[in-house]
């Protein structure tokens, strides 16, 4: 037996539906239901309403029924959709998380969605589990088993321990001496690609190279001081020994001509050497510049000990995290960033103190050789 529902709207309901259709952003299904109710209130038949609104006859029937059985809000809203029940129980989801956080199977570098699904089938009574089910449960718990975050710390030897607080120790020495300390990194330090049809580089997260095709490349050399709100970024076409030598001469003659001695903290790039200045300048000029420079090298695989790495991270996040069309625009944008950051007198706040480093990494420090104590005479 077919039941026919007759819709009669009040003046307030009719005004609400008219206002709903007259403006604003609403779901298309909600607007169609409002049109169905207004047409039914005007006396139109179900077939005519379905044709004019562009819906099926069952939609007209359900909308009228929900209005008469319930109210206007129920007629306009979506019916609850139960959908399929979750395939994994709470214990099984906990098992999935524990498996994703464990070591991968022998012969595999990391867990994949397929491997996790097969492992759950083996550990539970399910006949099959889709990779989409695994992906959704991992996403809900913010887990990405194919990614690993961590510090790259090599074997800690005496040199590493001596350098673990290079910039902090340099600060303390500067209090007693009028010498200037400058952290410099003249190798690529952050990825940015310029060119209108280029895509961002995919590679070392610490490389700062701008390229315009397979051949055109630019390098950003960054320098900063640990005790002053100053940094300088220079854009060059190459990163050769000659480019490094020019940066060192500008550091000595242009930026800090008043300093008696400039301590330069560097990484272990092959071009970072005193010989680079002799390859770029006559011997007398190279010797003049080197007399005011004092090179200090961080241990290998420990470039994070150099404070300039923090400045490079700020540069990448604030300036280079986008597409830049031309090398000229790249140099202009970096220069503007440099002026603004120097004007705000921003400084690096080195959080890893000597005490914190000893507390966190004390177990990794090498054991000192036992030294036989010599007896001393009491005075």
Chain segment 49-63, per-residue pLDDT in tens: 898 888 888 888 888
Residues of the chain with pLDDT > 90, as a percent, come to 13
When pLDDT is cut at 50, 70 and 90, the band that residue 290 belongs to is very high
Three-state DSSP at 256 gives coil
Residues 6+ apart with CB under 8 A from 141: 97
End-to-end CA distance of the chain: 117
Q: What is the residue whose two structure tokens read 């049109």?
A: 35
Q: What gap in Å lies between CA 52 and CA 95, rounded to an integer?
A: 54
- Half-sphere exposure for 208 (CA within 13 Å, toward CB): 29
> Under a CB-based contact definition with an 8 Å cutoff, are residues 245 and 346 in contact?
no
pLDDT of residue 316: 85
Instruction: State the SS3 of 114-176.
Output: HHHHHHHHHHCCCCCCCHHHHHHHHHHCCCCCCCCCCCCCCCCCHHHHHHCCHHHHHHHHHHH
Q: Classify 147 in phi/psi space as left (phi over 0), alpha (psi -120 to 50) or beta.
A: beta
Does residue 203 carry a pLDDT above 50? Answer: no
- Phi, psi (rounded to 5 degrees) for 254: -100, -50
Answer whether CATH 3.30.420.10 is correct for domain 158-359: yes
The secondary structure of residue 328, as a DSSP letter, is: H
The pLDDT, as a whole number, for residue 103 is 87
How far, in whole angstroms, is CA 181 from its chain's centroid?
30
- Kindly indicate the confidence band of residue 165, based on its pLDDT and cuts at 50, 70 and 90: very low
Mean pLDDT value across the chain:
77
> Per mean pLDDT, which of 196-205, 254-263, 319-328 is the most reliable?
254-263
């Amino acid at each position: 037996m077919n039941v026919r529902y007759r819709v009669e709207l009040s003046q307030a309901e009719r005004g609400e539906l008219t206002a709903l259709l007259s403006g604003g952003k609403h779901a298309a299904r909600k607007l169609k239901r409002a049109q169905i109710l207004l047409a039914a209130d005007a006396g139109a038949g179900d077939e005519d309403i379905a044709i004019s609104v562009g819906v099926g006859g069952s939609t007209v029937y359900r909308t009228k029924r929900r209005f008469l059985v319930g109210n206007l809000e129920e007629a306009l809203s979506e019916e609850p959709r139960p959908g399929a029940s979750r395939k994994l129980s709470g214990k099984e989801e906990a098992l999935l998380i524990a498996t994703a956080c464990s070591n991968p199977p022998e012969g595999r570098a990391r867990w994949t969605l397929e491997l996790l699904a097969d492992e759950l089938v083996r550990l539970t009574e399910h006949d099959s589990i889709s990779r989409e089910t695994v992906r959704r449960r991992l996403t809900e718990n913010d887990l990405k088993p194919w990614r690993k975050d961590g510090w790259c710390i090599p074997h800690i030897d005496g040199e590493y321990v001596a350098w673990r607080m290079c910039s902090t120790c340099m600060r303390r020495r500067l209090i007693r001496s009028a010498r200037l300390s400058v952290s410099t990194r003249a190798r690529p330090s952050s990825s940015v690609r310029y060119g209108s049809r280029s895509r961002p580089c995919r590679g070392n997260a610490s490389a700062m190279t701008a390229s315009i095709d397979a051949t055109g490349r630019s390098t950003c050399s960054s320098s900063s001081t640990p005790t002053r709100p100053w940094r300088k970024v220079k854009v060059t076409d190459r990163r050769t020994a000659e480019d490094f030598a020019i940066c060192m001469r500008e550091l000595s003659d242009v930026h800090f001509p008043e300093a008696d001695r400039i301590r330069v903290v560097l990484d272990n790039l092959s071009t970072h050497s005193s010989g680079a200045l002799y390859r770029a300048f006559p011997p007398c000029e190279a010797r003049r510049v080197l007399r005011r420079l004092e090179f200090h090298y961080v241990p290998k695989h420990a470039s994070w000990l150099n404070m300039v790495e923090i400045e490079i991270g700020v540069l990448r996040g604030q300036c280079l995290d986008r597409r830049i069309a031309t090398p000229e625009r790249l140099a202009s944008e970096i220069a503007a960033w440099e002026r603004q950051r120097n004007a705000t007198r921003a400084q690096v706040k080195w959080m890893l103190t000597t005490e914190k480093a000893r507390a966190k990494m004390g177990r990794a420090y090498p054991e000192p050789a036992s030294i036989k104590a010599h007896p001393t005479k009491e005075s």
